[in-house]
Amino acid sequence: MLISSHPRGRFSPRGCKPLTLAIHLIVASAAGVLSTSMAQAQTAVQTYDIPAGPLSSALNRFAQQAGVAIIFQSHTLDGLTTPGLHGVYNEQSGFETLLSGSGYTVVKGANGYTLDALPTAGSALELGATQVSANQLGTITEGSGSYTPGSIATATRMVLTPRETPQSISVVTRQAMDDFGLNSIDDVMRHTPGITVATYDSDRTSYYSRGFAIKNFQYDGIPILQDPQYSAGHTLTDTAIYDRVEILKGATGLLTGAGGPGGTINMVRKKPTREFKAHIDLGAGSWDNYRSEIDVSGPLTESGNVRGRAVAAYQDKHSFMDHYKRDSEVYYGILEVDLDPDTLLTLGADYQDNNPKGSSWSGSASLYNSAGESISTPRSFNNGTKWSSWKQYTRTAFATLEHNFDNGWVAKAQYNHQINGYNAPLGALLDPDATTGLAPILARKYTGEYVSDSGDLYATGPFDLLGREHQLVIGGSVSRSHWTGNDYTNAIMIDNAYDYYNWDGDALEPDWGSRTSKNDETTRQTGTYITGRFSLADDLTLLLGTRVTNYTLTGTSQAKDTGKVLPYAGIIYDINENISAYASYTEIFLPQSYYRNRDNKMLEPDEGTNYEIGLKGEFFDGRLNSSLAYFEVHQDNRPEADTAYNARPTNPDIDYAYKGIKATTKGYEAEISGELLPGWQLQAGYTHKVSREQGGKKVSTWEPEDQINLYTSYKLTGPLDKLTVGGGVRWQGTGWQMLTNWNKGGTVEKFSQDPYWLVDLMARYQISENLSATVNLNNVFDKSYYTNIGFYNSSYYGDPRNVMVSTRWDF
């Protein structure tokens, strides 16, 4: 990596490219952090002006301004007040002053501060549902050592515990990612209960939940809708820059507006720390897989009112597939500035490149030869040429401004600017000739870029009604995405016949010729939303909300839906101090921009409704969470190929048509995550679901109806207390698809993946206080299985057995 300085040692952001901005942020943050001593950070003081009022609100406000977490039971401090905090304090003295006379003190732990009853209180505090102040995004999981979160804000903008959230949500924490080497979003999704990862080819994946594709991604709660046609970096995101990944299942229209009914993936970025911390991670593994990562964070001023963090990671990875490799690099910089005791400004940027060579395309191997006979190839077979490449990149700049008011309300403005691009010259072998074994190359090239701007402004806080305290969120959002793309589909190949069964990827790159089509589309979406959390009784809570959204698509494709109302409702009843029952109703919609019927008219908007009832449990002071849910997802205008028309097209304007159908998924799922015993972490889940269209025929059959995920780790004690061991298993039932064998006259055949188990193992040894080594062994029994079932009559194998060894130095 080359880093060039300004000739005069100054940096001006004007006119700089995203790469330059990201690198300068990293260099500036790292230099500032390293120049500030740990002692200064630990004793950092600042001026506070927190007014008198409820003690719980004052503690939350102080924690936000100090940049730390404070965890306590929701109703423990009811009725307690404080005269406020005015003057210069450090963390400990600030908490002690606020708690003076309350009967409580604070204890600092690895995951922040917790309340503890003073000896005169007669007994220790029984912690229950937790409150954690963390920039209105939920609990920071980094450093917690936990596989479960303390709180989340993905569903409603309110910072709530999983038990207080009336929807199914899975969270993969920083600790889980570190333990099992989950270095990409693909890895995280494979680890997540109830999620199916479909691998189309070497550089494209899609995620499915409850029978539907997940099309909504969020970054720190800001939604971005992924285009279903072209992959442009979302699924190849490196996790080095994230604190956790939250997966909200089912329809999520309240905050996302347009999207699919499968769910939403929210990637929550790492935040700067008030104390200096840093680490370097180096790893090497199977198939020449090398990875390096550096992460530096801490205060940039003596008072700690400015904090920074910089992350850089590089990976050079070959593959079990012939002549395929990919290198990727990611840079991330973030600054937090306390403009005053009540106002926080956050600025950041990230940059990521994924550069593959030898990309497969539409699977990695054909299922049939030219006579329609089934054929098989080794797992290592790669249908792509050596020059084939689906390059993807991401550039992001973001900012947030958050202000705390004296009455306990918080206002937050967020902005996210993101560029996602792809450059894909692709070449792959088609079906081989049944007699000669020769196959032609299909060569096409796709280039394009999405430029997305998203903004969100909301206010949230408590209010009193009928003698009880409730919570309200009022907000609005606006987004604009501009896609420009170029297709080259008339490539001129020379000597286009290759031995399929002895293929080594060697072929001349074609003359791509002139552009054959151009895409130029702009998507605009605006929305306003409101949600109330009403305390009907001590053990009964009602959540009601709605979003009114406007969606327009102009350019190459056209779509419009204005004034769309998306309601949200949930109710939670606390059965006892650990178990709650809940029910919820959510909606979502997505105007169609690609699927046309036999009359050449666009299908009506795809609409989804999610019904859910279940039980949620919270144990051991919130260190262990569990859930059991029954769900139904109803979809209208689901696009499905109009096979009767497509066999004999009659309209000269459309040769391939779709029809809109109704589909319903019904199922249930169970999940548990967190600490079973001291040092023993677990995340496990079981999901059963069946999707059917209105006539009773099963759909989404490539998704298995049954799935089990279980991952666990245990830190040994006694003489072996430096050793942590763990492992995981993934099981899924049969998945299949009915394929049309065009090489055999259009006959319909079933292609299926039999049930299979995958077993992973991990071990970490703490060599010294600052140095550790971790070994991850994946697919221990070298199971051969497909991760693509029939996409364009092709197959794609999952990774064989592989190992990764990494060392981490913390300083």
User: Can you give 318-344 as a three-state secondary structure string?
Assistant: ECCCCCCEEEEEEEEEEEEEEEECCEE
Q: Which residues of 319-346 are buried (b: 16+ CB within 10 A; e: fewer)?
A: bbbbbbbbebbbbbbbbbbbeebbebeb
pTM across the whole model: 0.83
pLDDT at residue 179 greater than cutoff 90: yes
**Torsions phi, psi for 329 (to 5 deg):** -140, 145
Q: Give residue-wise pLDDT tens across range 638-659.
A: 888 787 787 778 887 787 888 8
Dihedral of CA atoms 646, 652, 654, 655 in degrees, nearest 10, equals: 30
Per DSSP, the three-state class of 762 is: strand
DSSP single-letter state for residue 184: B
pLDDT at residue 660 greater than cutoff 60: yes
Averaged pLDDT, 522-530 = 94
pLDDT at residue 515 greater than cutoff 70: yes
Q: CA 218 to CA 215: how far, in whole Å?
A: 10
pLDDT at residue 336 greater than cutoff 60: yes
Dihedral of CA atoms 503, 506, 512, 518 in degrees, nearest 10, equals: 60
Q: CA 797 to CA 376: how far, in whole Å?
A: 12
Averaged pLDDT, 123-134 = 34
Q: CA 328 to CA 350: how far, in whole Å?
A: 13
Which one, of 109, 60, 736, lies nearest residue 461 by Cα? 60
| Tokens (6 digits) for 207 | 């995620």
Q: Which one-letter amino acid corresponds to residue 625?
A: N
Which one, of 511, 527, 566, 561, lies nearest residue 544 by Cα? 566
Strands 263-269 and 216-219 come out as parallel
Averaged pLDDT, 791-801 = 92
| Residue predicted with more confidence, 154 or 177 | 177
Q: CA 675 to CA 377: how far, in whole Å?
A: 44
CB 597 within 8 A of CB 660: yes
pLDDT at residue 550 greater than cutoff 70: yes
The verdict on residue 182 lying in a domain is: no
Strands 70-71 and 112-117 come out as parallel
Mean of pLDDT over the chain = 87
pLDDT of residue 462: 93
pLDDT of residue 391: 94
Give the rounded distance of the alpha carbon of 232 from its chain centre: 15
Give the rounded distance of the alpha carbon of 130 from its chain centre: 23
| Residue predicted with more confidence, 270 or 11 | 270
CB 370 within 8 A of CB 801: no
| Residue predicted with more confidence, 722 or 137 | 722
pLDDT of residue 82: 79
pLDDT at residue 595 greater than cutoff 90: no
The verdict on residue 149 lying in a domain is: no
pLDDT at residue 167 greater than cutoff 60: yes
| Tokens (6 digits) for 461 | 């806080």
Four-residue CA torsion sign, 257, 258, 262, 264 = negative
The verdict on residue 183 lying in a domain is: no
Q: CA 376 to CA 706: how far, in whole Å?
A: 27
CB 686 within 8 A of CB 669: yes
Count of other CB atoms within 10 angstroms of residue 712: 18
The verdict on residue 707 lying in a domain is: yes
Band (pLDDT 50/70/90 cuts) for residue 3 is: very low
The verdict on residue 128 lying in a domain is: no
CATH code of the domain in which 96 resides: 3.55.50.30
The verdict on residue 676 lying in a domain is: yes
Per DSSP, the three-state class of 26 is: helix
pLDDT at residue 443 greater than cutoff 70: yes
Residues 6 or more apart from 411 whose CB is under 8 A from it? 402, 403, 405, 457, 458, 459
Averaged pLDDT, 714-739 = 93
| Residue predicted with more confidence, 45 or 547 | 547
Q: CA 140 to CA 447: how far, in whole Å?
A: 38
pLDDT of residue 13: 38
Least confident segment among 47-51, 132-136, 338-342: 132-136
DSSP single-letter state for residue 226: P
Q: CA 288 to CA 436: how far, in whole Å?
A: 35
| Tokens (6 digits) for 420 | 């996602």
pLDDT at residue 232 greater than cutoff 50: yes
| Tokens (6 digits) for 668 | 């249930």
Which of 97, 119, 141 is a domain's end point? 119
Which one, of 784, 778, 780, 807, lies nearest residue 797 by Cα? 784
Count of other CB atoms within 10 angstroms of residue 48: 21
pLDDT at residue 215 greater than cutoff 90: no
Least confident segment among 21-25, 108-112, 273-277, 507-511: 21-25
244, 419, 715, 760 from 778: Cα distances, Å: 22, 33, 20, 4
Half-sphere exposure (Cβ direction) of 10: Cα atoms closer than 13 Å: 3
Averaged pLDDT, 357-368 = 93
| Residue predicted with more confidence, 263 or 81 | 263
Count of other CB atoms within 10 angstroms of residue 74: 14
The verdict on residue 173 lying in a domain is: no
Residues 6 or more apart from 254 whose CB is under 8 A from it? 155, 156, 529, 531, 545, 546, 547, 566, 568, 586
Count of other CB atoms within 10 angstroms of residue 581: 15
**What whole-number percentage of the chain has pLDDT above 90?**
62
Sort 223 into a burial class: Cβ within 10 Å, 0-12 / 13-18 / 19+. Answer: buried
pLDDT of residue 259: 86
Q: CA 530 to CA 548: how far, in whole Å?
A: 9
Q: Give residue-wise pLDDT tens across range 58-115.
A: 887 788 777 777 877 655 676 677 777 877 678 887 888 888 777 788 887 656 788 8
pLDDT of residue 236: 85
Q: CA 245 to CA 220: how far, in whole Å?
A: 10
Q: CA 538 to CA 541: how far, in whole Å?
A: 8
Strands 85-89 and 46-50 come out as antiparallel
pLDDT of residue 393: 93
Number of structural domains, the chain? 2
Count of other CB atoms within 10 angstroms of residue 407: 11
Q: Which residues of 470-487 are buried (b: 16+ CB within 10 A; e: fewer)?
A: bbbbbbebbbebebbbeb
Least confident segment among 24-38, 265-279, 352-366, 749-763: 24-38
CB 617 within 8 A of CB 163: yes
Least confident segment among 130-139, 493-502, 696-705: 130-139
CB 561 within 8 A of CB 541: no
DSSP single-letter state for residue 260: -
pLDDT of residue 598: 87
Q: CA 225 to CA 460: how far, in whole Å?
A: 25
Per DSSP, the three-state class of 297 is: strand
pLDDT of residue 299: 94
Band (pLDDT 50/70/90 cuts) for residue 16 is: very low
pLDDT of residue 70: 82
Question: Helix-strand-coil percent breakdown of the chain, rounded to 5?
Answer: 10, 55, 35
Spell out where 642-679 has E strands.
658-677
| Tokens (6 digits) for 750 | 């079933």
Which one, of 718, 808, 724, 717, lies nearest residue 768 by Cα? 808
pLDDT of residue 226: 63
Q: CA 19 to CA 11: how far, in whole Å?
A: 14
Q: CA 776 to CA 187: how far, in whole Å?
A: 13
Task: Please give the radius of gyration of the chain, using alpha carbons only, rounded to the nearest integer.
Answer: 27
pLDDT at residue 705 greater than cutoff 50: yes
**What whole-number percentage of the chain has pLDDT above 70?**
89
Question: Which residues constitute the domain of residue 714?
Answer: 274-810
**Torsions phi, psi for 670 (to 5 deg):** -130, 140
| Residue predicted with more confidence, 35 or 746 | 746
Q: CA 520 to CA 507: how far, in whole Å?
A: 32
pLDDT of residue 173: 95
Which of 66, 88, 119 is a domain's end point? 119
Which of 63, 88, 119 is a domain's end point? 119
CATH code of the domain in which 615 resides: 2.40.170.20
The verdict on residue 155 lying in a domain is: no
Averaged pLDDT, 23-49 = 47
Q: CA 525 to CA 256: how far, in whole Å?
A: 10
pLDDT of residue 117: 73
